[in-house]
Each structure stands twice: as structure tokens, then as C-alpha cells.
Amino acid sequence: MNGISLMVEEHKYIKRMLNVIRKASYAVLKGSPINYDDFANMIDFVRSYADDHHHGKEEKMLFNRMMDEMGGAAEKLVRHGMLVEHDMGRLHMKELEEALLKVKEGDDEALIDVIANAVSYANLLYRHIDKEDSLVYPFAEKGLERGTLDKINEECDLFEKKREEQNVQKKYIELLESLEGKYMS
């Protein structure tokens, strides 16, 4: 398995969930009552699939190698760019969760924090993914040793098999499809 190609494929699923997140936020803006279960599922997708499953692979298999092997420019790009953006995404999800709780408890003004954090997350991740697809991944493919790329492919293979046994990929793709059915039609 080509690990980097797999990450590009995962971006497509993540971007589809970003579209759902924007649509659900727009419905809230237009006055629809918040569906707490749907928002909880969007947050679960972001944390378990986009962050743990996908960013986890980037951080533990790819970005670490880029910093070790490729020197200054790669280190700067990863440490001050991609990793910072992963963390900003985590903060938006935490604040989204807190805002949802506040609205549930009767704080109507917290609706703006629901929308602000959900939309900011989506916009952050669209840009982040575009940067990885067009710049960071091709840079890694050019700059890493062949042996390192082979190692990444092997590790990805093992990791994916383990996750398949736990039904992770299937579960979150099905969740995405069910939310698309609700929000994107």
C-alpha cells in the first residue's frame, strides 16, 4: 500500500464531512434547532477518523520522518505549519463541544460559538488538506529516502489492517454517508 496515496484518499472523505459541517452550521444560522446527536456524530468523526486515524498516521509515520531526514525547511513546514493546524483543529472541536453544551443548557448566545467553531474548523481543514495534497506530500515524496517511504508504506499497511479489524474505516464512512443523506440532499 502507498501510504501517502492512502492519506490523499482519506482527505476526500474528510472534505466531504467538512461540507456536512458547513451545511449543518448554515441550518443553525437559518434558525433550525440543533440536532445534538448529529453534531456529536460530526465531532466523533473529526476526532476518531480525521484526527486519530488520519492525523495520527501523518504525525507518527510521515511528519516525524520529514523532520528527522529532510532538515530545516521540512521541519519548519511541519512543526510550525501542519502540527500547529492539527492542534488548532482540536481546539475548535473542544470549543464546539462546550458551545453545544451551553446552548443545550439554555444559553442562546452560545449559538454563535457553535457556528463560529464549526465553520472555522471546516475552513481550517480545507486549507490544511489543500496544502498537504499540493505541497507537503509531494515534498515528502521527493525528499525522503526510498527506504523510508517503503517503511511508511509497510507501517500504514499494518495500521490499516488493525483498524479494519476494529471496523473503524467502515464505521466512519457509513456515518459520513448517513449525515450526507440528511444534510447534503
> Quick one: which segment of 54-62, 69-77, 91-99, 107-115 binds Fe ion (CB under 5 A)?
54-62
In the complex, what is the shortest distance from the CB of residue 55 to Fe ion, in angstroms, rounded to a whole number?
A: 5
Closer Cβ to Fe ion, 77 or 132, answer by number: 132
Q: Which of residues 124-153 bind Fe ion (CB under 5 A)?
A: 132
In the complex, what is the shortest distance from the CB of residue 102 to Fe ion, in angstroms, rounded to a whole number?
A: 29
In the complex, what is the shortest distance from the CB of residue 82 to Fe ion, in angstroms, rounded to a whole number?
A: 5
CA atoms within 13 A on the CB side of 19: 15
Closer Cβ to Fe ion, 22 or 55, answer by number: 55
> Quick one: which segment of 58-66, 109-117, 144-152, 171-179 binds Fe ion (CB under 5 A)?
58-66
Check residue 61 for interaction with Fe ion (CB under 5 A).
no
In the complex, what is the shortest distance from the CB of residue 14 to Fe ion, in angstroms, rounded to a whole number?
A: 7
**Calpha distance 105→45 (Å, rounded):** 24
Query: Which residues form the interface with Fe ion (CB under 5 A)?
Result: 58, 132
